[in-house]
Amino acid sequence: MHAIDLHTHSAVSDGTETPTALVEQARAAGLEVIALTDHDTDRGIDEAREAAARAGLGLLPGMEVSAKHRGRSIHLLALGNTPAPGSNFALALEEVRDSREKRAQRIVERLSEDFPISWEAVLEIASGRGVSVASVGRPHIADALTRAGVVEDRSEAFQRMLAPHSPYYVPYRALDAVDAIAGIHDSGALAVGAHLMTGKRGKGLSSDACLELVESGLDGLEVFHREHGEAEREALLAIAREKDLIVTGGSDYHGSGKPNRLGENTTSEENLERLLESTSARL
Residue type, 99: S
| pLDDT for position 199 | 77
Contacts of 241 (CB under 8 A, 6+ apart): none
| pLDDT value of position 257 | 81
pLDDT at 121 (0 to 100): 97
Rounded to whole angstroms, the Cα distance separating 63 from 81 reads 9
**Stated pTM of the model:** 0.94
d(CA 271, CA 52): 21
Tell me if 67 sits within 8 A of 145, measured CB to CB.
no
Alpha-carbon gap, residue 62 to 247, rounded angstroms: 16
d(CA 35, CA 107): 31
What pLDDT score does 201 carry? 59
pLDDT digits (tens, 9 = 90+) for 167-179: 999 988 899 999 9
DSSP 8-state class, residue 9: -
Helix (H, G, I), strand (E, B), or coil: what is residue 33?
Answer: strand
Q: Using one digit for the tens of pLDDT, what is the confidence trace for 76-133?
A: 999 999 999 999 999 999 999 999 999 999 999 999 999 999 999 999 999 988 899 9
Gap between the Cα atoms of 49 and 42, Å rounded: 11
Look at residues 265, 158, 169 and name the one whose alpha carbon lies nearest to residue 201: 158
Q: What counts of helices (H) and strands (E) characterise the chain? A: 10, 8
pLDDT at 177: 98
The residues of the chain scoring below 70 in pLDDT are 1-2, 201-202
